[in-house]
Structure 1
Amino acid sequence: MKKAVLITGASSGIGAATAIEFSKNGYFVYLMGRNKERLQDVALKCRSGASIVSCDLSDEAALNKRLGEVMGAKIHRVECVVNNAGIYESNTTDSGSDELWSRQFEVNMLGPLRIVRAFFPYFKEQGGGSIVNISSTLGLRPQGPTSAYSAVKAALVNWTESLALEGGPLNIRANCVCPGLVDTPIHQFHALPDDQKKETLDKMGGLQPLGRIGKPEDIARAVYFLGSDLSSWTTGAVLSVDGGINLT
């Protein structure tokens, strides 16, 4: 039975790069997201095969139905899930509405929780599995007007560590990757004209000890390491992939 990985938020950025990285290493990839057209573009780049799982993580009933189909297919053995889907919104404590906080928690925390809750019995039955949650360096050290986003990403880090303790005796590993500033569509500068974008990236890159901002592939390689058997004796790890900005 061919090994497989399920990746949320797989239509672009870190999720798409992670799908391609796993595929390079022989994994069949379940691509989860809402934009079917972009998911299809990513699927074409997955040389070991891919299937699109179009679903909204906030619709728990529909999500469980789709995940049940994946786990019940018996064609592939899902060995890893990568919780990458997320949203970013800027706010301060006194400016963020209850709706903004609820939205951040719904997508960035409850979404991963629902995925893991569905897969836990599956991993337990097959004798193990791997979970990689994508948090952020802002979940470790908040900066600027990111009150809700930073708080929820910190919760994701803490929950990953709890999950590692719960899953350890069952051979279910849980690890967390905390990206720094990465060139992905979640950031406003990604949509700038090429000349303005280059100027912005050069300026931001100059603030990083390694002299550049991250690329999705930088994060994807770290996720693959933690998600695959390359890190079979690693659980509860919180890995910052940030160009060294956490040291400044």
Structure 2
Amino acid sequence: MSTAKKEYKRITTKTLVDMKRRGEKISMLTAYDYTMAKIVDNAGIDVILVGDSASNVMAGHETTLPITLDQMIYHASSVVRGIERSLVVVDLPFGTYQSDPKEALRSAIRIMKESGGHSVKLEGGKEIKDSIKKILNAGIPVMGHLGLTPQSIYKFGTYTVRAKEEEEAEKLKEDAIMLEQTGCFAIVLEKVPAKLAEEVAKSVSIPIIGIGAGNGVDGQVLVTHDMLGMTHEFNPRFLRRYLDMYAEMTTAFQQYGKDVKSGDFPNEKELY
């Protein structure tokens, strides 16, 4: 496959499928507010995920489960105001789509109408097929999510690698094909063996975006706060920290405090 890169003025769901066909890797990061979204978008990142991980990194919850639909809409609308190029994908939060396809559709419509997001993401396979179909029938693009699905953490009981056993691996492959056939434009594959992830990527024509899924997939996603080193308690093998912002910010805040207490800030040049 060709690896020639093409510049896109606005990333769409079709753009991502074209990128896979061309052999061009897809970059994806999270954002939850206007300022961060503007920086990520200006950096040329293809997809911005308004993830329910906001429950962890923005609100301090232990899991993604507590975040509400209203809160997701708030974060997503803030992100949309900051972007010009990136495709914005918004997570449907826990409890808004799993059991009732009609509720799933209402939730997705609220996100699209009230936030201006471009698409939604749902966790799960055949068990949520009816919800996905209902949303797609309304003309709303859907990104799937398989492997480790954090909204099901109490079912799994652990954040360890998924689909290591043959039975679960086969189900994952079947679910990926089902998601493509149902109409999803892409799938996030989280924390599964690299060989399996590569097999899945080759078995479907839609992009597979990995997080802890090796390099044989069509793109990668990380939580921005993690890759910037703003968080320091979370240290999975798949995380590459590109900065140590925790240390940098701590130093800056400490210096500011010292300058204020010493009377050095503001100085003569900083007065009106």
Q: Smaller-chain TM-score range?
A: 0.3 to 0.5
- The two structures have a TM-score, normalised by structure 2, of 0.34
- The two structures have a TM-score, normalised by structure 1, of 0.36
Tell me which structure has the larger Cα radius of gyration: 2
More strand by share: 1
More helix by share: 1
